[in-house]
């Protein structure tokens, strides 16, 4: 379906691509190399691998779109929790789990478990939001999300939690670890070309939704992680780093992470 907005966007894109070609005096070989890169990304992509998005991410495009999207919300008197990029590994069909349960099923030997919990409130009023959904996902210690890894059970390290009457959620998860993004395709080739590494700092992904409020897609980063300054996909922002604290008297978890979220009204 053609809309006026689509026309505006595509017209600007074509103009900028022409300007780019003129600016660098693009040669036939270089243009063909670009075409091959696009085709390669398409051929590599399937339901476990989203290479097109990965390419956008290493050039900072998803992060820029996220900044543009959050800009308006950040102007509010009481800005909501900062957003961050979705990344390629979210799944729409993650199961709803009970608060206080775990998302780590076939836990690797080197795993370190954390208890993550917090409250979802309205940014404007500070009131708790009951029945909000907290959708979380994270990679295992081998750097793989479950859909990339035949050794993990389906929906390992992901799940949706529904907040209680006080807006609270809780679950056991892994204390996340840094890992490389898939490096064997065009995204990896681009990184190499720019002398950049493929690592991401330790993070947990979240989507928080509550009726009448703007949906929040974000990531939280372990403040002690490597690569906070040079995330390969530019997702780290102020206000998204969190502190894991030692957890006492819980045989199930070594670390405690309190993470509260505020959402803006629609
Ligand atoms: C990307 C994001 C992630 O969260 C991740 O784990 C790997 C890659 C990305 O934005 O490309
Ligand atoms: Fe991730």
Index of the ligand 1 atom closest to the CA of residue 54: 11
- Overall average pLDDT of the 46-54 stretch: 91
> Quick check: CB of 185 below 6 Å from ligand 1?
no
Give CA–CA dist 103/7, Å, rounded: 44
Q: How far is the CA of 22 from the centre of ligand 1 (A)?
A: 32
pLDDT, residue 194, reads 96
> Quick check: CB of 88 below 6 Å from ligand 1?
yes
Q: How far is the CA of 176 from the centre of ligand 2 (A)?
A: 10
The verdict on pTM exceeding 0.90 is yes
Dihedral-angle region of residue 105 (phi above 0 means left; psi in -120 to 50 means alpha; beta otherwise)? alpha
pLDDT, residue 108, reads 86
Of the candidates 85, 60, 83, 79, the one whose C-alpha atom is nearest the C-alpha of residue 70 is 83
Dihedral-angle region of residue 227 (phi above 0 means left; psi in -120 to 50 means alpha; beta otherwise)? left
- Overall average pLDDT of the 14-24 stretch: 98
pLDDT, the chain, mean: 96
Flag whether pLDDT at 63 surpasses 80.
yes
> Quick check: CB of 116 below 6 Å from ligand 1?
no
Question: pLDDT (tens digit, 9 = 90+) per residue, 203-228?
Answer: 999 999 999 999 999 999 999 999 99
Q: How far is the CA of 20 from the centre of ligand 2 (A)?
A: 31
Q: Which of 1-10, 70-79, 200-209 tops mean pLDDT?
A: 200-209
pLDDT, residue 109, reads 87
Question: pLDDT (tens digit, 9 = 90+) per residue, 166-192?
Answer: 999 999 999 999 999 999 999 999 999
> Quick check: CB of 114 below 6 Å from ligand 1?
no
pLDDT, residue 106, reads 82
> Quick check: CB of 227 below 6 Å from ligand 1?
no
Q: Which residues of 224-233 are buried (b: 16+ CB within 10 A; e: fewer)?
A: ebebbeebbb
> Quick check: CB of 176 below 6 Å from ligand 1?
no
């Amino acid at each position: 379906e053609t809309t006026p907005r689509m026309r505006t966007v595509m017209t600007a894109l074509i103009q900028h691509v022409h300007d780019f070609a003129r600016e660098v005096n693009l040669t036939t070989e270089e243009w063909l190399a670009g075409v091959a890169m696009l085709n390669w990304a398409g051929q590599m992509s399937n339901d476990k691998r989203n290479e097109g998005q990965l390419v956008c991410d290493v050039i900072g495009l998803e992060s820029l779109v996220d900044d543009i999207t959050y800009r308006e919300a950040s102007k509010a008197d009481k800005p909501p929790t900062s957003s961050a990029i979705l990344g390629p590994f979210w799944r729409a069909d993650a199961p709803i789990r009970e608060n206080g349960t775990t998302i780590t099923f076939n836990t690797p030997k080197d795993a370190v478990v954390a208890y993550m919990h917090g409250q979802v409130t309205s940014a404007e009023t500070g009131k708790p939001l009951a029945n909000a959904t907290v959708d979380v996902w994270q990679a295992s210690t081998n750097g793989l999300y479950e859909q990339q890894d035949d050794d993990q059970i389906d929906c390992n390290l992901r799940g949706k939690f529904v907040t209680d009457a006080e807006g609270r959620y809780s679950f056991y998860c892994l204390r996340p670890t840094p890992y490389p993004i898939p490096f064997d395709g065009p995204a990896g080739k681009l990184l190499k070309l720019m002398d950049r590494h493929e690592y991401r700092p330790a993070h947990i992904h979240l989507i928080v939704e509550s009726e009448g409020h703007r949906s929040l897609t974000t990531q939280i980063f372990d403040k002690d992680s490597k690569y906070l300054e040079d995330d390969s996909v530019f997702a780290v922002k102020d206000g998204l780093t969190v502190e894991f604290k030692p957890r006492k008297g819980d045989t199930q978890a070594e670390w405690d992470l309190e993470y509260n979220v505020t959402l803006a009204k629609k």
